[in-house]
């Protein structure tokens, strides 16, 4: 009965604070403070200071601001434009033409960014005007871009996977490796959707683009080499065991700065803007993580996570039924919270449940990323929707409608992961 009262109070205070537009991190601290005051005799101030400092001083967590900074450098310099220029000649021969640059561009930039919003903004500012000029349907331009940008949450270096790994004390490198194959499979599903549209909606095809020679395609590909080299340096160093996630992030920052300087697009203005952009994003995420650490401690004192895990165990739910229930739960939660907030808010309760059910925590990290990807493109709080609204001036409802097929493909990806869990577990199990 105590656990029931605790649950009701926790939820009431949480939704009251979030509904009053308090920052998510501060709302978590507020809920934890109330829980400590009502259900324990320990002074909440002392517990908060100790827990917040411990949660914020993690060495693993230092990878987060470094990867964010790497993405900011690429976003604010000419490297992203060159990447798009190098991709375009190779995409035009596919059924669906240059629409595939949305998918391929987001996939490649996700591998050096880790942020869905940065991926969307970078690729969108180049692809939207070009695709409009060539006569592609607006709903396909917007929908494919909205969906493909979510790959920034899965393909390493993923900020969401870093937060998940820190929250459950799991290897960031293994989580990164686990996201590679599912990320490419999901990108393949998105490209298959474009190919299907090309053959089904023949009347909507734009005018064919002029053919170009293989020699010209290879010549334009030189613009891809810097970004591909950076991806190989960052991900390869982790795969072969040469660097931890934090060390690989340092390599990425140095590499991005070097490439931007060699290209001539790095100046004092872009340097300071990228640094301040990374600082703002990192501070926001750190505040959420600190609040979540305090909330986890508070709920631990109430015994709520243990009681809930025990209750789930008594129901004898199969792992499949539990995954189906959690899928629905995270889709609903994602309509009101961003991905990182959804992860840190729920892990204190969900982690004991999945361990009790015998679900692999590495696999579950990829599953949860796919599910919270949907939150980026589902109203009312789909962050990618707001970014696209600012870029295209379309209504949120229209953008969400265009992204519905991509949400359906993410649900297909969840089913693929359930049927073939090795997609997420094979690479980390074979990482040095």
What integer pLDDT is reported at residue 420 of this predicted model?
92
What integer pLDDT is reported at residue 45 of this predicted model?
75
Kindly report, residue by residue over 378-401, the tens digit of the pLDDT.
776 667 777 787 778 788 788 888
Asked whether the beta carbons of 128 and 391 are under 8 A apart, the reply is: yes
Task: Say which residues have a Cβ less than 8 Å from residue 349's Cβ, sequence separation at least 6.
Answer: 299, 304, 305, 308, 309
Sort 381 into a burial class: Cβ within 10 Å, 0-12 / 13-18 / 19+: middle
Range of weakest confidence among 74-83, 87-96, 407-416 = 74-83
Whether 135 has a pLDDT exceeding 80, the answer reads yes
Average pLDDT over residues 89-109: 82
Cβ atoms within 10 A of the Cβ of 291, count? 27
Q: How far apart are CA 58 and CA 69, in angstroms?
A: 18
Range of weakest confidence among 14-28, 247-261, 368-382 = 14-28
Whether 3 has a pLDDT exceeding 60, the answer reads no
Q: How far apart are CA 332 and CA 348, in angstroms?
A: 18
Whether 182 has a pLDDT exceeding 80, the answer reads yes
Cβ atoms within 10 A of the Cβ of 167, count? 22
Average pLDDT over residues 157-178: 85
What integer pLDDT is reported at residue 354 of this predicted model?
86
Prediction pTM value: 0.80
What integer pLDDT is reported at residue 59 of this predicted model?
66
Task: Say which residues have a Cβ less than 8 Å from residue 158's Cβ, sequence separation at least 6.
Answer: 110, 114, 152, 175, 176, 179, 369
Q: Decide: helix, strand or coil at residue 100.
A: helix
Average pLDDT score, the chain = 79
186 band by pLDDT with thresholds 50, 70 and 90: very high
- Choose among 292, 347, 351: nearest CA to 54: 292
48 band by pLDDT with thresholds 50, 70 and 90: confident
Sort 218 into a burial class: Cβ within 10 Å, 0-12 / 13-18 / 19+: exposed
Sign of CA dihedral 24, 25, 27, 31: positive
Asked whether the beta carbons of 254 and 41 are under 8 A apart, the reply is: no
CA angle in degrees (0–180, nearest 5) for 310-348-148: 120
Q: What percent of the chain has pLDDT above 90?
A: 10
Average pLDDT over residues 249-273: 85
What integer pLDDT is reported at residue 432 of this predicted model?
61
Report the range out of 96-100, 114-118, 419-423 with the highest average pLDDT.
419-423
What integer pLDDT is reported at residue 187 of this predicted model?
92
Range of weakest confidence among 85-89, 135-139, 158-162, 179-183 = 85-89
Whether 431 has a pLDDT exceeding 90, the answer reads no
Task: Quickly list H helices, 169-244.
Answer: 172-200, 214-220, 225-239
What integer pLDDT is reported at residue 253 of this predicted model?
87
What integer pLDDT is reported at residue 366 of this predicted model?
92
Average pLDDT over residues 326-336: 78
For the chain, the structural domain boundaries read 2-201+219-429
Whether 18 has a pLDDT exceeding 70, the answer reads no
């Amino acid at each position: 009965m105590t656990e029931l009262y605790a649950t009701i109070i926790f939820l009431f205070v949480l939704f009251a604070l979030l509904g009053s537009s308090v920052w998510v991190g501060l709302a978590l601290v507020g809920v934890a403070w109330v829980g400590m005051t009502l259900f324990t005799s320990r002074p909440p101030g002392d517990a908060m200071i100790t827990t917040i400092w411990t949660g914020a001083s993690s060495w693993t967590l230092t990878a987060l601001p470094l990867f964010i900074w790497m993405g900011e450098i690429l976003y604010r310099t000419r490297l992203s434009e060159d990447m798009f220029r190098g991709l375009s000649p190779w995409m035009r021969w596919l059924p669906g033409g240059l629409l595939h640059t949305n998918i391929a561009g987001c996939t490649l930039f996700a591998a050096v960014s880790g942020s869905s919003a940065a991926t969307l903004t970078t690729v969108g500012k180049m692809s939207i005007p070009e695709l409009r000029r060539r006569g592609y349907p607006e709903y396909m331009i917007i929908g494919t871009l909205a969906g493909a940008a979510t790959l920034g949450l899965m393909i390493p270096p993923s900020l969401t996977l870093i937060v998940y790994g820190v929250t459950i004390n799991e290897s960031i490198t293994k989580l990164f490796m686990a996201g590679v194959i599912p990320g490419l499979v999901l990108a393949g599903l998105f490209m298959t959707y474009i190919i299907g549209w090309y053959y089904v909606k023949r009347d909507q095809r734009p005018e064919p683009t002029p053919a170009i020679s293989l020699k010209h395609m290879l010549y334009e590909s030189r613009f891809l080499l810097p970004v591909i080299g950076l991806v190989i340096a960052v991900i390869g160093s982790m795969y072969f065991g040469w660097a931890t996630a934090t060390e690989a992030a340092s390599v990425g920052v140095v590499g991005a700065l070097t490439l931007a300087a060699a290209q001539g697009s790095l100046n004092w203005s872009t340097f300071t803007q990228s640094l301040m952009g990374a600082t703002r994003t990192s501070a926001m995420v750190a505040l959420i993580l600190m609040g979540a650490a305090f909330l986890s401690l508070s709920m631990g004192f109430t015994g709520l996570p243990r009681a809930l895990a025990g209750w789930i165990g008594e129901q004898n739910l199969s792992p499949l039924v539990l995954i189906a229930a959690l899928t629905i739960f995270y889709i609903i939660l994602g309509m009101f919270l961003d991905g990182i907030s959804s992860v840190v808010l729920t892990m204190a309760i969900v982690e004991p449940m999945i361990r009790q059910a015998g679900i692999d925590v590495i696999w579950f990290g990829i599953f949860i990323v796919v599910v919270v990807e949907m939150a980026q493109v589902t109203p009312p709080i789909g962050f990618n929707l707001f970014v696209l609204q600012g870029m295209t001036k379309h209504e949120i409802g229209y953008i969400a409608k265009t992204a519905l097929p991509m949400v359906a493909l993410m649900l297909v990806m969840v089913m693929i992961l359930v049927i073939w869990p090795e997609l997420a577990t094979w690479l980390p199990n074979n990482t040095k």
